[in-house]
Amino acid sequence: MSIIAALEGSADVTIGNIVGSNLLNMSLVIGVTAFIFPLAVERPTIKKEIPFAFLSTLALFVFMSDRTLDLTNVNMITRSDGIIFLLFFSIFLYYVIEAARNSREKAENVAPNNDKEVGSLTKNIIITIVGLAAIIFGGSLVVNNSTEIAYRFGMSETLVGLTIVAIGSSLPELITSITAALKKQSEIALGNIVGSSIFNILFVLGVASVISPSLLTISCSLMLSFS
């Protein structure tokens, strides 16, 4: 949704969606999830994932501060900024793959030729894909229709991005985290929130700025809301 908004020239919706979605993830989603089931925070999350999320947020703030740091006339996310975001994301992706590989090596060996397990795996993959598609489609409907209503009431793009679009974008994280909490899988719930925040800034904004850097001009009102 952020990439589509960038291509349509709605920079405030793009940035506001990412900033607002991350704020909601770290406040509302974590709050609701922890209320349902206490979240156990593992050492790798404290030492690596959370600092990486903080670093990506700090990088976004620095890249948005062109008028202050470079004394330019406008704040803007450029293509070079987007490339740096994507490089950071590739580092994070490498860490995730290595962590998954190490976790798999520590797990108990499972017979590879078990037809029942193969069938179960295939079924789980199909259900996961269908579930993700339903969540994304539902969130898209909420965002599109709510945005139209907001514009009719005279709301600015910044406010729409920070509130309605951000809430719609956070619905998948909220639903996934609540489901994980109900099943007492706190690592999945917390990892979903932290990973989503990193993904929003480094990948989504990185791709949007690489595709259409000239459209990601940041207004003063959005800078004030971010600060």
Q: Give the range with max mean pLDDT: 26-40, 112-126, 132-146.
A: 26-40
Q: What is the pLDDT of residue 111?
A: 46
pLDDT given at position 57: 87
- Provide the pLDDT for residue 225: 54
Tokens of 115: 């037809």
**Does residue 169 carry a pLDDT above 80?**
no
**Higher per-residue confidence, 224 vs 44:** 44
The CATH number for 162's domain is: 1.20.1420.30
Total number of domains constituting the chain: 1
130: amino acid identity, one letter? V
As a dihedral over the C-alpha atoms of residue 33, residue 38, residue 39, residue 43, rounded to 10 degrees, the angle is: 170
Closest CA to 214 of 4, 1, 9: 9
**9 pLDDT higher than 80:** no
Q: What pTM did the predictor assign?
A: 0.73
Whether residue 153 is predicted with pLDDT greater than 80 in this model: the reply is no
Instruction: Please answer whether residues 169 and 17 qualify as being in contact, where contact means their C-beta atoms are separated by less than 8 angstroms.
Output: yes
Lowest-confidence region among 2-11, 68-77, 122-131:
2-11
Tell me which residue range forms the domain holding 6: 2-226
Percent of the chain with pLDDT over 70: 74
Non-local CB neighbours of 102 within 8 Å, separated by 6+ positions: none
